[in-house]
Amino acid sequence: IRKVIRLPKSFFETIVTGTQSVQMDQKLLETIHNISMKKIQNGPSDLGEHSDFMALTKDTKIVDIPYHSIIGNNKGDVPKSEMTDGIVSYNSAHLEGAVSEKIIDGGHSIQETPEAVLELRRILRLHLEKIGDVSADPKGPNT
C-alpha cells in the first residue's frame, strides 16, 4: 500500500524551496530532507508493527475519554489469542480499558455489517444518555 499512497510532488518541492531561504537547525533540515526523499510514513505503514508511530504511541494511555472496540473475527470459536479479521489480530485490535468490546463474526470490513452498525448505534446512544440528550431513547422521534 505504501507504494500506492504518496504525497504530491508539489508538497515536497514547497517544503524544500521554503526551507532553503530560512536558516534552521541541522535536525530539522534532516527531517525535511527525509520528507523530500519520500521517507515519510503514511496511514497504512504507520500501523505496521515496527513503525515509528507505533513505537512512539504504544505506551500512551487514553485518559478521560471513553472508547469502545468493535473487532472482527473470521476464525470462529477460537481463543482470543487466535482471533483475527484476516488483517488485524485480536491482540493488536484489543484496547485495554475500553468501556465495551464487541467481537463480531466477519472480516476486516466489519464496519459494513448490520451487527456492527447496531453496536455503533448502541455506543452513540450510550454517550447521548450520558450527556443528557433526550433523543438517546431508541423509541423517541429522533431515532
Q: Judge contact between 110 and 84, C-beta under 8 A.
A: no
Which of 126, 124, 85 has the alpha carbon at shortest distance from 103?
Answer: 85
* DSSP annotation of 70: E
Answer whether residue 40 shows pLDDT above 80.
no
Determine if the pTM surpasses 0.75.
Answer: no
The fraction of the chain above a pLDDT of 70, given in percent, is 58
pLDDT single digits (tens) 84-109 = 999 999 998 999 999 999 999 999 99
pLDDT single digits (tens) 104-142 = 999 999 999 999 999 999 999 999 998 887 565 566 555
